[in-house]
Each structure stands twice: as C-alpha cells, then as structure tokens.
C-alpha cells in the first residue's frame, strides 16, 4: 500500500448538522474549539483507495 497523502479529518452528515441549533452555529463561528463535527478520524489516500478510519470506518476503491 503506497500512501500518497493522509490527514486528520472532521465531518458531519447533513442530518446531524440540521439537528443542531443556533447555539451550535454560534459556537462554530466564534469559539476557539474545533469546527462543528460529529465524527473524526484519519483520511488516507493510496493509489487504489480512499479510506477513513476513526469512529466510523469507510473505504472506497478507486478505479
């Protein structure tokens, strides 16, 4: 497995963001904490796949 790039990643699904309220939006804009997210992990790009490993694991094979 030849790793081309890897990084730390934060994300939320659309439904999770829609469930947030005004308090979450203000916190995301004006605080010194991480951006609004519900999941985090490590994203890795290889010559044959894109993988996310963390509280949810996902692997996408590339053509």
Prediction pTM value: 0.66
- The residue among 9 and 18 whose pLDDT is bigger is 9
Structural domain boundaries in the chain: 3-61
d(CA 16, CA 19): 5
- Average pLDDT value over all residues in the chain: 83
The predicted pLDDT at position 31 comes to 66
Q: pLDDT tens for residues 23-42?
A: 666 766 776 667 677 889 99
CB 50 within 8 A of CB 59: yes
């Amino acid at each position: 497995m030849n790793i081309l790039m890897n990084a730390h990643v934060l994300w939320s699904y659309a439904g999770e963001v829609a469930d947030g309220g005004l308090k979450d939006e203000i916190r995301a804009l004006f605080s010194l904490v991480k951006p609004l997210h519900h999941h985090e992990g490590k994203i890795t790009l290889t010559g044959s796949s894109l993988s996310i490993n963390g509280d949810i694991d996902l692997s996408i094979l590339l053509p």
